[in-house]
A and B are shown apart, each in its own frame.
Chain A
């Protein structure tokens, strides 16, 4: 039987253990905060990148709505981190950077979020081509809301072609976008999530 350590040593040991636990808790809180910020930051970054006034291919095709990818993805996977308010903020940045009538993309992002959130179980169960179709539905809702809002805004129907181009580009960019967002989720958000 090992000799019992003196009381003073036990007290110091307890203090050291308490300090280590407090440090770990602080670290966990910081990691959780970071995890909470990552989806919104990704959404804002995606909007920023997709709305840079730089056109490839001579402006033949419109830029995709990259900001919708993080909104859709984390709305399904971590709705506690991608809240309606987060979708609202991402939509506002899309409005500011994208030009056009103010508030249109904010409304369309929140509307798409609302539909996805209400049918979350159905969307989350999709995989492979089904997942792309699920995102296409969300993108279609966003584009349709934007188109109708602009039609009401100007009180006449605008040409459908550019909006269809935007929808197609957004769906095409979903596959690489989802890959990037999934990697970020695994490395940052998923790893930081450690709910008891």
Chain B
């Protein structure tokens, strides 16, 4: 420094040329798109390392946030108290209605032998960090792979769904919020009349995510309930998410949960296993079910299909289709030619 101004040093010749570094940065973007798990692993290891510090830092920061948030509420405490009392009285009435309806639904389910809802395993986790960045809205939980947390699991608080587990480290995990740019959740929009419309809830980094993939004919009313549809089997159906809010030509969703205020959340370990198909008997194969002769084992690959096509073009056989035996064993004609079991 000279005369109070910064002295500009001469450029060193020993450095990577700028063009090469720019090219490397572009390659990194492309590589990151193809191999994003490398960055994800680095993020999770870093977050795991920072977890103790974050846990220590979380309490004072939350206290500060609460203090800041409460400054404006001091002046409306009386008014808000009256409104809350009124709302509480109405909610008590609704609770009574809900209890009666729940008992009635259970009775109907028993009468109709309805398939019971799958049990959902859940665990409680504490929020130890939050981040609100232009391309990522997330919160960090103190539960990871060691606790059974896996990517894709739903995260809810006492009001509704917050998001899904995005990355899971050994001791910590990142939650992708419903408002995040990358969030896509299949939902059902339930109107008061009971009609249900399937849609996709798409985050766009604003407070109200968009209801997407609706057909043009669908008309929703502000206030309609939005719940998870359960499509895809990752999320349990019926999780409360929010209510419909009109926004221009489209619809958005006012979320029930408040990720900025949640302290303890629940991770739902729901994974609906794909339903196993019943075993197929020989009679249920297309050719056998159509009453066509079985393919022989000596035919070349593709010959059974060709034979079936030829037979289909021929006049229909007069003989009835072979019936399954009473003991459930397929008839001999339905079995492929070859050595019988035990005769080898």
Contact = CB atoms under 8 A, between A and B. Distances in A.
Interface string B121-165: 000000011111111101110000000000000000000000000
B24 A88 contact: yes
Interface in A144-196: 146-147, 149-150, 153-154, 158-159, 161-163, 165-166, 185-186, 190, 193
A63 B65 CA distance: 15
Given A99-B133, A114-B18, A166-B134, A76 B6 contact: yes
Contacts of B6: 76-77, 124, 185
A54 B8 contact: no
B241 to A, nearest CB: 20
Interface stretch (A11-19, A25-33, A100-108): A100-108
A79 B12 contact: yes
Interface in B1-49: 1, 5-12, 15-18, 21-22, 24-26, 28-33, 36, 38-39, 42-43, 46-47
A53 B130 contact: yes
A120 B8 contact: yes
A145 B241 CA distance: 34
Interface of B: 1, 5-12, 15-18, 21-22, 24-26, 28-33, 36, 38-39, 42-43, 46-47, 50, 54, 57-58, 61, 64-65, 68-69, 128-136, 138-140, 174, 181, 204-206, 260-261
Given A55-B132, A190-B1, A110 B25 contact: yes
A102 B22 contact: no
Interface of A is mostly: helix
Interface of A: 51-63, 76-80, 83-85, 87-88, 91-92, 95-104, 106-107, 110-111, 113-114, 117, 120, 124, 127, 146-147, 149-150, 153-154, 158-159, 161-163, 165-166, 185-186, 190, 193
Contact of A99 (B28, B31, B64, B136): B136
